[in-house]
Amino acid sequence: MALGSEPKYQQGFKQFEYVSDKARQGGELRLAAMGSFDKLNPFTLKGLPARGLMELVFEPLAIGSLDEPMSMYGLLASEMRLATNGLAIEFRIDPQARFSNGKPVTAQDVQFSFDTLRSGAASPIWKNYWSDVRSIVVVDDRTVRFEFARRNRELHMIVASLPVFSRDWVPAGKTFAQVVQESPIGSGPYVVEQVDLGRRVTYRRQEAYWAAKKPSRAGQFNFDRISFHYYKDVFARLEALKAGEFDFIHENTAKNWARSYTGRAFESGRLIRAELPNQNAAGLQGFFFNIRRPIFKDVRVRQAIALAMDFEWMNRQLFYNQYQRSNSYFTNSEMAAKGLPSAAEVSLLKSLAAKADRPLAPEWLQAVPEPASTKAPASLRDNLRKAKTLLEEAGYRLVDGRLLNQQGQPLAFEILISQKSWERVIAPFTRNLQKLGVVVSTRVTDASLYKKRVDDYDYDMLVHWYQASQNPGNELLFRFTSQSAKELGADNFIGVADPVVDAAISAVLSARGRSELVLAARVLDRLLRHGHYAIAHWHNNVHRVAYARGLVGPAKRPHYYHSEDWAMATWWWAEAQGNR
């Protein structure tokens, strides 16, 4: 299946082009993970799941290729039939499909997985994801049909991504929410072999993996074992890499990449540095305001705080000029809004406002906001002057070095982070805010407490990355809708509850072609950026990785990928290196 085009790979293809037929099997790939974990169930709200479960243990009905914007190929499903009216899709389960306990995957297991994930026992993200699915019907033991409540251009693709697990995974007398450390029973290429809670998890490849020769899996998952070793901070992780404790790393910190990937291990060739190009949509990483907090209700306050971030200085002094400034919720894609709205965008904005029974806001017809810059002729001093004016308009006055509102309350807030490495990035931002009289503190918590506070929306501001794809869709429902703003554990970290935004998301989901999708996404981007809900960060178009000598990847890279996931799925140990 494909959205807006023909699938690249036609009937009878042998394997994806970014997979090698020369890969050899064997050995162990050791990877690093940050923080901790306390459960083997990735679908429930409470707790931290082990890294690798979704990629290695559970499988969907169909899987996407990494060199197309949105195409999917059967995995558990051997056949897929979309109704001509687009309101239902039927899947025929591959008769060879088996769970790790040897039992066949049936339509009843698909129904059980779907009903369980949509229930209150699972994270609300799943329920939101499939909110337009009206019902699921078991036609026979190998056939299941999903019926939709309304047309949604990608819902059949979303349903095809359903992760399927065995009914046997939930022991008698337990609810799904109580399944915490029981080894999952999935159909994936690996099973959980060994667990040291919070420290290490090891997965073992199934010798008789049912889909090993299926085109959507051929040539993939070549390591006998894949393990994740957990580290508390990025510095310990980097030293562990140099000491040989694991084999592959994706580096996110510019300073580390510029200065720390040196030493004997790299000079001898035992470790190899590489920058892998990609065409990923960058989405938006940034400082996100929690507008549920009274201090952030006024858009002028949010605008003023954003003016205090000097990206150009940070990129020069902290990031070694490795980054570009992000400017959109769909950065690095054609979905990003630009300049003044086109006639088609204005028409859609008017329609959305009417549907939401709201007036057309004058600012929507203006140029879309761009992040504040200090490039000449602009300067930080000019930006802070503008911020001061906005804060005064919002009712704040400087008293003894602090900004106070009319009730005498200070403008003060906390930035919640889970890694100390962010402190050096936040420091210059907070120094600039102090010049305005704004008091900012930083709170570093461990991974468990961080997740609990984020799930409960118990923060003023946080650092987050809203990832994007070439085809935005149902993920928008639990990021920016009024319904998700009220649901704990959803991804609406901002607290957006705007009926016009809701209508724009509906327009994205109901788009009938690529041009309609791009138009609706640009309008949504325009609405969100006029809300000044985030202070945009930065992005680049390469994956910075280091890996052990002897690890080999396919000659052809995919277009849209995460480096670590691609390595897990398609790399292997060269024969000369031997097995671990």
Q: Can you point out the beta strands (E) in 23-169?
A: 28-34, 59-60, 62-64, 72-74, 77-82, 88-93, 133-140, 143-148, 163-164
Kindly state whether residue 109 falls inside one of the protein's structural domains: yes
Tell me which residue of 420, 390, 418, 416 sits closest to 403, measured CA to CA. 390
Q: What share of the chain is helix, strand, coil (3-state, %, to 5)?
A: 30, 20, 45
What are the backbone dihedrals phi and psi of residue 508, each rounded to the nearest 5 degrees, phi first? -60, -45
Same domain, 224 and 306: no
Report the CATH number at residue 220: 3.40.190.10
Q: Which two tokens stand for residue 227?
A: 């393990």
Same domain, 486 and 422: yes
Q: Which two tokens stand for residue 55?
A: 């990629």
What Cα–Cα distance (Å) separates residue 51 from each residue in 179, 223, 577? 17, 16, 26
What are the backbone dihedrals phi and psi of residue 162, each rounded to the nearest 5 degrees, phi first? -55, 120
Report the CATH number at residue 457: 3.10.105.10
From CA 548, how far away is CA 15, in angstroms rounded?
A: 26
Which pLDDT belongs to residue 578? Answer: 46
Which pLDDT belongs to residue 447? Answer: 86
SS3 assignment, position 504: helix
Same domain, 160 and 302: no
Tell me which residue of 62, 88, 63, 90 sits closest to 77, measured CA to CA. 62
Kindly state whether residue 352 falls inside one of the protein's structural domains: yes
Same domain, 314 and 460: yes
CA angle 529/286/261 to nearest 5° reads 145
Kindly state whether residue 262 falls inside one of the protein's structural domains: no
Kindly state whether residue 528 falls inside one of the protein's structural domains: yes
CB 410 within 8 A of CB 403: yes
Same domain, 89 and 192: yes
Same domain, 424 and 568: no
Q: What is 361-383 written as a DSSP string? A: -GGGGSPPP------TT--HHHH
Kindly state whether residue 525 falls inside one of the protein's structural domains: yes
Same domain, 555 and 535: no
Which pLDDT belongs to residue 69? Answer: 83
Same domain, 532 and 547: no
- Total structural domains in the chain? 2
Same domain, 503 and 563: no
From CA 461, how far away is CA 289, in angstroms rounded?
A: 5
Same domain, 449 and 548: no
The stretches of 166-317 forming alpha helices (DSSP H) are 234-242, 254-259, 264-267, 299-306, 311-317
Kindly state whether residue 435 falls inside one of the protein's structural domains: yes
Which pLDDT belongs to residue 281? Answer: 87
Kindly state whether residue 157 falls inside one of the protein's structural domains: yes
Kindly state whether residue 251 falls inside one of the protein's structural domains: no
Q: Which domain holds residue 560?
A: 28-236+542-577
Q: Which two tokens stand for residue 419?
A: 């890694």
Which pLDDT belongs to residue 153? Answer: 83
Same domain, 532 and 560: no
Q: What is 235-251 written as a DSSP string? A: HHHHHHHHTTS-SEEE-
What Cα–Cα distance (Å) separates residue 372 from each residue in 283, 303, 474? 18, 9, 30
Average pLDDT, consecutive stretches of 10 residues, N- to C-terminus, the chain (580 residues)? 87 95 95 96 95 98 92 97 95 98 98 96 89 96 96 90 97 95 97 97 97 96 97 93 97 92 96 94 95 98 98 95 95 94 98 96 97 96 98 96 94 95 95 97 93 96 92 90 92 97 95 90 98 96 96 94 96 70
Same domain, 157 and 123: yes
What Cα–Cα distance (Å) separates residue 462 from each residue in 80, 441, 535? 41, 12, 11
- pTM score, whole prediction: 0.84
From CA 65, how far away is CA 67, in angstroms rounded?
A: 6
